[in-house]
Amino acid sequence: MAKIKVCGINNLSFLKQIIKLKPNFLGFIFYKGSKRYIDFEFMKAAIQILPSSIIPVAVIVDHDQAFIKKIIEIAPNIILQFHGSETEEFCSSFGMPYWKTVHIKNSKDLLDVNVYESADAILLETKSDGSIGGTGRSFDWTILKELDFDSKKYILAGGIGLQNILQAKSIGPWCLDINSMIETEPGVKSIDKAKEIFKLIADV
């Protein structure tokens, strides 16, 4: 069964509710251009609430080493998700497990999944002009038949919600990334929408 990551956590009340649904990962976005942006103080508070069974993921977009080291200091068990133009050398320099986002528009973009051999997982996100993600849009998933899902851990992201999560799951990714499709508006998560998705997955 595919693991589940809920990304864009920026509200402590929602955090307390979503952990009851037992996702595998929760994503915290440190990119100031996102409506789901959080700062170090929020992360400190979140870590106090988060059970050890749920792994935090820091979404990083071309931040410098000092910034990233501060995140690791706050949450030593965190997974680093590099979402920008970071090189493999930079991503692996922290000695931490990391995921690398590859932005997908067409099958040519799939070639980039092989660049980051040291990554623990590759996150496949919809390529969108002027946005790093969280747009609610999916790319053409039929091109993923070119990938070997048994040889590498792939995380499927981009517009995954109640209407298509079973289709996304059937493709065979290691993990599904849920974000904007459980929101009432950008940056505002709905626990009711989240519950619907988790119930649908559990019923299959």
How far apart are alpha carbons 62 and 82 in whole angstroms?
8
List the chain pLDDT tens, one digit each, 204 residues: 899 999 999 999 999 999 999 999 999 999 999 999 999 999 999 999 999 999 999 999 999 999 999 999 999 999 999 999 999 999 999 999 999 999 999 999 998 898 999 999 999 999 876 556 556 789 899 999 989 888 899 999 999 999 999 999 999 999 999 999 999 999 999 999 999 999 998 876
Compute the C-alpha angle 158/111/134, nearest 5°: 15
How far apart are alpha carbons 15 and 42 in whole angstroms?
11
pTM of the model: 0.94
CATH of domain 3-203: 3.20.20.70
